[in-house]
Amino acid sequence: MNINAIEDASSILPSGSTEASAPLANMNTAAEPYDAVLADPPWQGQGGEKHYPTMPLSRIAGMGDAIRAHTKPDSWLFLWTTKSLIEEAKDVMKAWSYEVGDWITWGKLNRYGFGKKHIGILHASEILLVGTRGDVVSDYRAQPDWFVSPSGRHAEKPLEQYAIAERIAGPDARILELFARTRRPDPRYGFWGNELETCDVNFAPWGYPVPADKTFHRKNAAGGGVGDA
C-alpha cells in the first residue's frame, strides 16, 4: 500500500486541540539521542477505535523526522503490528529510515481475534518487527523468533517486549518508547504518548502534540533532564 496516497487526518490529540507552531530550530529534543525505539502505533481498523484515538498510516509514517531527531544514526526499531498490517508496517519502518531485519511473533494464550471467515483460522498473535538503521550489531545470539504470553487489556503488550529490546539492542541501550500508556521506573527509557502525564521528548514541532507537552516544557524550563518526572 502506498502510504503517501492515504488521506491525512488529525493528530492523536482529541478534536479541538491545536498543533504547535514553534519553529524546528527552537525544538526541544532529548539531551542524548536514543539507541532504540519501541513503538506500538494506534493503527486504524484494528479495533482500537473503541478504546483510544487511532491514526491513519500517513500520519504514522510522517513521524520519521521527529524520530530521526531523537535517535542515533545507528539505532534499532522495534515496531508492533498485526498480521493483517504487516506490509503497511514495513512501509512505515522504511519511512522512519529503518530496514526491516526480522520479526518476533507473540502468541496469545487467552485471546483469539477474528480471521478470514471462509478459512476459519482465528488470529491469536501479534508481530514485533525488528529494524536497523546504520551500523548496529547485536551481541545477543539466542533470541527466539516467538514467545507466548497472556494478553491484557486491548492493545496492551507483554512485559517481555522490554526484555527483547534490551537483549537485542544491548543492556546499556537507551530506549524511547512511543505511544506508551504507562511509564517504567527505568532510567534507560524515555517515554512519549497520548495517555502520559509526563513525556521525555516533544514531537509537537513536527505536528504531533500530546497533552503532556506542557509538562515537558515546564520540566525543561526548570532544568529537568530526560527521564525526570
For residue 118, the model assigns a pLDDT of: 75
The DSSP code for 221 is H
Summarised one tens digit per residue, pLDDT across range 75-103 is 999 999 999 999 999 999 999 999 999 99
List beta partners, residue 126.
106
Summarised one tens digit per residue, pLDDT across range 176-185 is 999 999 999 9
Structural contact between residues 195 and 183, judged by C-beta atoms closer than 8 angstroms? no
Summarised one tens digit per residue, pLDDT across range 114-136 is 666 777 777 789 999 999 999 99
For residue 7, the model assigns a pLDDT of: 35
- 35-169: which CATH architecture? 3-Layer(aba) Sandwich (3.40)
In angstroms, the CA 174 to CA 159 distance is 17
Identity (one letter) of the amino acid at 33?
P
Kindly report whether the global pTM for this prediction surpasses the value 0.85. Answer: no
